[in-house]
């Protein structure tokens, strides 16, 4: 969460007190917004927090693609769920770097979520069938 009174500073002030600001960023894990002529221009963030943000964004995109695919799927079309899930797990495994400490945890959460998807997909198919009959 950004604290307006503590996390927004001018680029000039950042240049003058770089060490102090970097220590604060590392300690609080809050990004720092730098302004130029009173307008927000840059965001400075520690590398670990940035990597977590990238990983979270990538995971969200993957889940959005899964949701979209399920919504677009028609009964009898597509590939077998087992094949899809194996490909998905491999893709996610390949995308998350080995050095990412939470990779196994993320994959476990994805496996749990993926195991629930066929049930949710069946519910959606039943809803489509009901809608077609009316």
Parallel, antiparallel, or unpaired for β 39-44 and 8-10? unpaired
Residue 44, sorted as left (phi over 0), alpha (psi -120 to 50) or beta, turns out to be beta
pLDDT tens readout for residues 9-32: 999 999 999 999 999 999 999 999
Note whether 36 and 76 are same-domain residues: no
Distance CA 124, CA 27 (A): 46
User: Can you give the residue range of the structural domain that contains 53?
Assistant: 48-133
Number of domains in the chain: 2
Note whether 121 and 81 are same-domain residues: yes
Note whether 58 and 91 are same-domain residues: yes
Distance CA 117, CA 70 (A): 9
Note whether 23 and 77 are same-domain residues: no
Distance CA 113, CA 86 (A): 13
CATH number for the domain harbouring residue 8: 3.40.1620
Please state the pTM of the whole predicted model.
0.49
High-pLDDT (> 90) share of the chain, %: 33
* Positions in the chain whose pLDDT score sits under 70: 1, 3-5, 74-78, 81, 98-101, 117-118, 120-121, 125, 128-129, 131-134
């Amino acid at each position: 969460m950004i604290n307006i009174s503590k996390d927004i500073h001018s680029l000039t002030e950042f240049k003058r007190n770089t060490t102090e600001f970097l220590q604060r960023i590392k300690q609080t894990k809050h990004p720092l917004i730098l302004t130029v002529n009173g307008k927000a221009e840059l965001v400075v963030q520690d590398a670990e927090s940035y990597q977590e943000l990238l990983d979270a964004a990538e995971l969200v995109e993957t889940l959005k693609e899964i949701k979209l695919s399920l919504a677009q799927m028609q009964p009898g079309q597509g590939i077998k769920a087992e094949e899809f899930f194996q490909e998905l797990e491999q893709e996610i495994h390949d995308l998350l770097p080995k050095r990412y400490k939470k990779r196994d945890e993320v994959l476990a959460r994805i496996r749990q979520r993926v195991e629930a998807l066929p049930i949710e997909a069946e519910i959606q198919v039943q809803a489509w069938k009901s809608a077609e009959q009316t």
